Structure 1
């Protein structure tokens, strides 16, 4: 058995707000650093959670790391707090543009 999609496309959060998760994912995929994103919501919580996978071969992240003199490999770069903050900032910029 293989799961290929969600059971529902619209989630209801604890405060009663309906959210189209697929729409949020497609907007955040416009960020040049992201190759994959998965957004999760729970009816008992008032917020969403996202799992973001930065691109391994995306030059924007590598260029940023080179500018900050970080010579870490991909795995170490993903665990680097400065790199995480950079990706989060880029996601926020993407969200504000869309």
Structure 2
């Protein structure tokens, strides 16, 4: 049963890195360090958006309008951290 816990923690780690990559890439695009006209950058950005936008849209549906400030990635990242803490604290249930 510990392998199930390890697999779940691995999935949360991958999700965490994907979210962080999306956040950093959005900053780099907004500050014009990266250009979406480059095919590689556009493909990576499109792939990250396709993965994360369904999750972000559900979170945005209950967040108030912040005037251009998008807190959905932060909320999702905090949820991933919270799930990780819950799994680690309840590891005895997997033994």
TM range (shorter): 0.3 to 0.5
More helix by share: 2
More strand by share: 1
Quick one: higher RCO (CA 8 Å, sep 6+), 1 or 2? 2
* TM-score, structure 1 as length reference: 0.31
